[in-house]
Amino acid sequence: MASSLARLLPELRACKACEPALPLGARPVFQLDRRARILIASQAPGRVAHARGRPFDDASGDRLRAWLGVSRETFYDPACFAIFPMGLCFPGKAASGDLPPRPECAPRWRRQVLDALPDIRLTLAIGQHALAWHLQRRASVADMVTAWREGLDRGLLPLPHPSPRNQNWGRQRPWFEAEVLPALRAAVAAVLSPRAPA
Ligand code: SF4
């Protein structure tokens, strides 16, 4: 039986399952609405998203919105985008960047929440952990993004993390900006078009 998002949301917001391991405590950050048409499957909120309680309200989000070709208003319209990271709470800092998403989170929540989003037509899997879960295989981010055309045919586009600290990734792979980003913008525009078939 499909999960009800209305039932899940209060449970998600109250989750403290791995709080002892979270340096700033549990504060699940996500955007979910059963009308959403595009799923952003990301990694975990950073410190700014944790403080603001809003996903991608930072420099990574600005870069992601530019990739998608959408305004902040559209990005934060829950009837357009669901934003559901692999780990819902800020996991803490590592020597470089943030720690990986907490491993307790996806097994606990991911399948039942995705089952409660009936209208998703395009999934954007961002970064190593979301790619591994959604593509069900282990490979480098570069290898998985290189296969973007096959993914897009199935409604699942693999992407690197849009963090500004990751800019070299794109500079070393000019095909990403030349080929993947135009295809990404076209796919997003098609899904969000008022004339898109249900
Ligand atoms: S990271 Fe996930 S499992 Fe851990 S407290 Fe936050 S919502 Fe719960």
pLDDT at 3: 62
pLDDT at 97: 84
Give the distance (Å) from ligand 1 centre to CA of residue 186.
34
Amino acid sitting at position 120: I
pLDDT at 83: 98
State the closest ligand 1 atom to the C-alpha of 18, by its place in the atom list counted from 1: 4
Q: What is each CA distance from 109 to 17, 28, 94, 179, 183, in whole angstroms? A: 11, 11, 24, 34, 30
What is the pLDDT of the chain when averaged over all its residues? 94
State the closest ligand 1 atom to the C-alpha of 102, by its place in the atom list counted from 1: 1
Instruction: Provide residues with CB under 6 Å of ligand 1.
Output: 15-19, 26, 28, 87-89, 102, 104-105, 108
> Probe ligand 1: pick from 29, 105, 111, 112, max atoms within 8 Å of CB?
105
pLDDT at 1: 47
Is the sign of the CA dihedral 47, 48, 49, 51 positive or negative?
Answer: positive
pLDDT at 89: 98
Residue written as tokens 């249900």?
198
Q: Which regions in the chain score pLDDT beneath 70?
A: 1-3, 195-198
CA distance 114 to 192: 19
Closest Cα to atom 4, ligand 1: which residue?
Answer: 18
Residue whose C-alpha is closest to residue 37's, from 153, 192, 175: 192
State the closest ligand 1 atom to the C-alpha of 108, by its place in the atom list counted from 1: 3
